[in-house]
Every structure is written in C-alpha cells, then in structure tokens.
Structure 1
Amino acid sequence: MPDFVKDNHQFHNPVEFAISKIGGTYKMPILWRLKDKKWRFSELQRSISHASDRMLSKALKELIEDGFITKEIFPEVPPRVEYNITERGIKSIAIIDALRNYGLDLMKDFGIENH
C-alpha cells in the first residue's frame, strides 16, 4: 500500500493509521468502558485513576473528533455530561479485545500475574 497523508501526518500503512486513532494510554481503556454503558467524566476519571484530568479530556476530545464516541451535555446545574460509544467505536472493540487477550497471554508467558 502506498504511503498517505491525513491531518498533516504521513502514514506508511493502515495499522499505523488505526493505532494513531485508538492507541495511546487512555483511548482504548475509554472505549472499553463505554462498550457497555454511558459514562460521566467523573466516573471515567475514577476508573482510569492514572489519567490526569488534562490527558483524559484530551483523549475524550480526540475520540469525539474522530467519531468513536459522542458527548451529550444536559442543561442542568451543574451541567451533566455523558459519553457514549458510536458504531465506529463499537467496531474497535473487537480489536481492543484481541489486543487485551494477547496482552494477557504475553503476561502469562513472561510470568506476570494478572490481578
């Protein structure tokens, strides 16, 4: 496959492009959590405790911009915000599940206990 450019970044293959969209420390854990239900920011924050507010917000914003999740703001005081997975996001779950299972197998191979 020939190289291609998207958002001023050159990609060399489709795997590199896919990883740029769902990879990183926080995007896959966010998508994994949203596969079953809507989550509020504070719930995600508590669940992904190693994520700073800034980094969690950045990952959520990028997932919204790329069409993997939606953000719904309810006009309440204080405002309530819920995040929900889209069809594009749901398609990524099979890949995330495969990577998760592969990671668990690797951990076992390297003698790392799964807690």
Structure 2
Amino acid sequence: METKERSEENKICPLEVAVNTISGKWKIPIVWQINEGKKRPSEFLRGIAKVDRRVLNQQLTEMVKDGILKRKSFNELPPRVEYTLTELGEQLVGILWQLNDWGKLLIPEQKDSSN
C-alpha cells in the first residue's frame, strides 16, 4: 500500500505542467506577438508595455527551454537574435485563441449581448 501511495504522489499532472509552462507575466503577450512572425528582443520591448529587459530575456530563455520558442543567433556585428514559434508554440497559439473566446464569455457586456 505504501508503494501505491508513493506512486500516486509521483504522478505528473499534465494540466499543472501546462499552466506552469505558460505562467509568467509576459509569456502570453510574447506568444501573441510572435504569432505575427519572427521577433527580435527589441521588438518585444516596444510591443509589450512596461516589460523589463531582464525579465523579458528570462522569460524568452524559459520558453526556449520549454520548447515553445526557437532562438536563432546570427554571427554578425552587432549581434542579432531572432525568436520564432516551434510547432509546440503554434499549438499553444490555437489554445490561447480558444481561451480568448472563453474569456469573452466572462465579460459582462458580452454575456448580455450573446443572449
């Protein structure tokens, strides 16, 4: 019985993994922006209000590690880096559109107009 309890505790919850992967104040805005095409860090800084460069870089690095973004470095002076969505990231965009549609149902003005 102790082994069964231990194995239950060690199970990985896919929903928890998914939520943890996209948690972070700027990760969803990053995905929304990069869905329009490849982006350089400076473009994210211009497009996302109030994001700190250090935090942006940290979140971009996490998203590359998690397989949502792909980072490409160019051997140029000055150095240039671009980010694009991976296939996993593109799947996330579809999920975020569904979440966006669901969110519309939660907005009072839109609730009233849909009845």
TM-score (norm 1): 0.78
SS at the partner of 1:25?
A: coil
Q: Which residue of 2 aligns with 1:92?
A: 92
SS at the partner of 2:70?
A: strand
- State the 1:94 CA deviation: 1.4
Matches within 5 A, 1:1-115: 2-4=8-10, 13-106=13-106, 108-109=107-108
Higher helix share: 2
Q: Whole-Å Cα distance in 2 between the matches of residues 21 and 73 of structure 1?
A: 23
Alignment CA distance shift 1:3-1:30 (3 Å): farther
1:109 maps to amino acid: P
User: Computing the radius of gyration over CA atoms, which structure comes out larger, 1 or 2?
Assistant: 2
Q: Whole-Å Cα distance in 1 between the matches of residues 105 and 68 of structure 2?
A: 27
Identity over aligned pairs, percent: 35
* CA deviation string 1:59-113 (max 9, x = no partner): 100000111111111111111111000001011111111222223332x3178xx
* CA deviation string 1:34-78 (max 9, x = no partner): 122000100001111221111111110000011111111111111
Q: Number of paired residues? A: 103
SS at the partner of 1:39?
A: coil
Structure 1, gaps ≥5 residues long:
6-10
